């Protein structure tokens, strides 16, 4: 019996495909998320919108809170560690949580090194803004990716930019010969073997969700049509007027993303969405997507 | 023959890839109208609570039960096996399911993701060559009713594959391997 193999790590992400992973800060919110059809929950102390509003250093959540959320649901539970903070990751693994998000939403603990994720039994998801960044994370052992977007803004524009970057680059890769692949790998600073595999398969070697700015069912369907495998919703649900209904509507829109009649129907009368922020109004040093490299 | 793959959520594309390699036409099933065009159905791995809710919301439960009563072959992997079971242990009390197979599925029987594993199993119906199996937050099958046959066990005796007539339930994921034998077995049910 072989535990924590690459197949089981990547495999759990494959089981989450076509689903919605929701940020929750209490066991009660976790139950609402599960009831709405979430495939997993991200256990947090503060959603990104509050981290953004309150400022200060954002760290791993209190293990007590993470465990209380785990006890509240039967679906997988994820928790965030700071970029490069391998001891926070060791703690989350020791708690028996299902997945770690090495996340730019928290304040980075190391400005040069990401966590060496191969050393862990627990699988990791990491953020990326383009193909090179995603493949660097996979080389470090990430078993799942998510495009970063700009968390806590309720503005989907960065999520769209990053999804278009990743899938556009994959489409271009498919047309290159091997000579060009060597140069391309060098230019995007990714290992050649991974670049070649993506070119051959025409897709990423791991599951890729979208994150950062999803606030409506239409946002979720948009990203699914752009090619992502599923959706992370952070602040968009529990910062809205009617979280339970909005959560379910986003789940339904993620499944039926190619059926405009259904997306229209679930979008009706959802109440107030979270208040959005224009990206250009955010001071440069408060943008999260630029953290990590 | 067209094999439907329930595509509400989960690893439906891996089943599709496997059937494409075998050379069988497939159709993604998300709405009741898709059922008219299929001859068999696979329910993939995923989250059984999510898939169950979407089955209920989109009116798929009764039409699917009717097709199964009429003899349509049905196979569930992992979450799919849970959705087929008449009894679910360690689930959510209000979790909607198809409940067509006379077994109990115990959810998350091995613990968290850290206890997910791969192992080689004997699956007598597929011959002597062992089957590489992948278990991810997997259930096990218990309390098999009359007419339900256990097809594979773990070393400790727990049942991880069973068949009742033209219904097949596996707690593991043949679609995550390159071994086509379980898919071919299902195509002959």
Establish whether B15 is a catalytic residue: no
The residue written with tokens 């994921």 in the block is B173
**Which residues, at least 6 apart from A200, have a Cβ–Cβ distance to it below 8 Å?**
none
Angle, to 10 degrees, between the axis of helix A131-139 and the axis of helix A157-173? 80
Q: Determine which helix (DSSP H) or strand (DSSP E) holds B41, and give its type and residue range.
A: strand B40-43
Report how far Cα A251 is from the mean position of its chain's Cα atoms. 15
Angle at which helices A178-187 and A192-201 pack, to 10 degrees? 120
Return the ∠ at Cα A145 (arms to A144 and A146), rounded to 5°.
135
Interchain contact A96–B (C-beta under 8 A): yes
pLDDT tens column, A141-170? 999 999 999 999 999 999 999 999 999 999
Question: In angstroms, rounded to a whole number, what is the distance separating the alpha carbons of residues A220 and A224?
Answer: 6
- What is the spatial distance between Cα A268 and Cα A252, in angstroms, rounded to a whole number? 13
Q: Distance between CA A84 and CA A102 in Å, rounded?
A: 8
CB pairs under 8 A between A and B: 118
- pLDDT band at A272, cuts 50/70/90? confident
In angstroms, how far is CA A272 from the centroid of its own chain?
A: 24
| Sequence-ordered list of residues with C-beta below 8 angstroms from that of A63, at least 6 positions apart, any chain | A91, A95
A34 and chain B: CB distance < 8 Å anywhere? yes
Nearest residue in chain A measured CA to CA from B6 = A255
pLDDT at A275: 84
Q: How close, in Å, is residue B147 to chain A by CA atoms?
A: 30
Distance, first Cα to last Cα, chain A: 36
| pLDDT at position A274 | 85
**Residue A72: which H helix or E strand, with range?**
helix A63-72
Residue B150 has which token pair?
């256990």
- Please identify which residue in the block is written with the tokens 């993939």: B44
Q: Is-above-0.95 flag for pTM?
A: yes
Look at residue A273 and tell me whether its pLDDT is greater than 90. no
What does the pLDDT read at residue A174? 94
- Asked if residue B95 lies in contact with residue B55, where contact means CB atoms within 8 angstroms, the answer is no
* pLDDT at residue B37 tops 90: yes
Classify residue B32 by burial, with Cβ atoms within 10 Å: 0-12, 13-18, 19+.
middle
Could you report the per-residue pLDDT of A197-206, keeping only the tens digit for each? 999 999 999 9
User: What is the band of B93 on the pLDDT scale with cuts at 50, 70, 90?
Assistant: confident
Determine whether the interchain pair A2/B119 forms a contact, defined as Cβ–Cβ distance below 8 Å.
yes
Picking from A1, A6, A11 by the largest number of B CB atoms within 10 A of its own CB, the best residue to mutate is A11
- In the block, residue with structure tokens 């891996």: B14
B-chain CB neighbours of A16 within 8 Å are: 46-47
pLDDT of A265: 98
């Amino acid at each position: 019996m072989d535990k924590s193999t690459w197949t089981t790590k990547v495999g759990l992400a494959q089981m989450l495909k076509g689903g919605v992973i929701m940020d929750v800060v209490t066991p009660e919110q976790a139950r609402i998320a599960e009831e709405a059809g979430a495939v997993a929950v991200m256990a947090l102390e503060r959603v990104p919108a509050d981290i953004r509003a309150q400022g200060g250093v954002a760290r791993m959540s209190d293990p007590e809170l993470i465990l209380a959320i785990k006890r509240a649901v039967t679906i997988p539970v994820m928790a965030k560690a700071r970029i490069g903070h391998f001891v926070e990751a060791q703690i989350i693994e020791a708690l028996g949580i299902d997945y770690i998000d090495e996340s730019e939403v928290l304040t980075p603990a190391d400005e040069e090194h990401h966590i060496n994720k191969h050393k862990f039994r627990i699988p990791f998801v990491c953020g990326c803004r383009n193909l090179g960044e995603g493949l660097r994370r996979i080389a470090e052992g990430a078993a799942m990716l998510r495009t970063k977007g700009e968390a806590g803004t309720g503005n989907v524009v960065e999520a769209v930019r990053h999804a278009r970057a990743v899938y556009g680059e994959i489409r271009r890769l498919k047309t290159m010969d091997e000579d060009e692949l060597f140069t391309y790998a060098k230019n995007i600073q990714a290992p050649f073997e991974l670049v070649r595999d993506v070119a051959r398969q025409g897709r990423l070697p791991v599951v890729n969700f979208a994150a950062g700015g999803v606030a409506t069912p239409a946002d979720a369907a948009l990203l699914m049509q752009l090619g992502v495998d599923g959706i992370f919703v952070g602040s968009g649900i529990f910062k809205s007027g009617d979280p339970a209904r909005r959560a379910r509507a986003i789940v339904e829109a993620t499944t039926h993303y190619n059926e405009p009649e259904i997306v229209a129907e679930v979008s009706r009368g959802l109440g107030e969405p979270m208040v959005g922020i224009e990206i250009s109004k955010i001071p440069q040093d408060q943008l999260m997507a630029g953290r990590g490299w | 023959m067209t094999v439907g793959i329930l595509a509400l959520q989960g690893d439906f594309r891996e089943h599709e890839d496997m059937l494409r390699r075998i050379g069988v036409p497939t159709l993604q099933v998300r709405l009741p109208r898709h059922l008219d065009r299929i001859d068999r159905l696979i329910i993939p791995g995923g989250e059984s609570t999510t898939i169950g809710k979407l089955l209920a919301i989109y009116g798929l439960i009764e039409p699917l039960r009717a097709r199964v009563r009429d003899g349509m072959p049905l196979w569930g992997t992992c979450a799919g096996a849970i959705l087929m079971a008449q009894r679910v242990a360690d689930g959510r009390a209000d979790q909607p399911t198809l409940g067509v197979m006379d077994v109990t599925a115990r959810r998350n029987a091995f613990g968290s993701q850290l206890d997910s594993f791969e192992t080689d199993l004997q699956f007598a119906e597929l011959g002597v060559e062992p089957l590489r199996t992948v278990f991810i937050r997997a259930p096990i099958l218990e309390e098999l009713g009359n007419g339900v046959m256990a097809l594979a066990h773990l070393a400790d005796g727990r049942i991880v594959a069973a068949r009742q007539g033209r219904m097949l339930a596996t707690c593991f994921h043949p679609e995550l391997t390159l071994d086509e034998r379980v898919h071919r077995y299902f195509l002959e049910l």
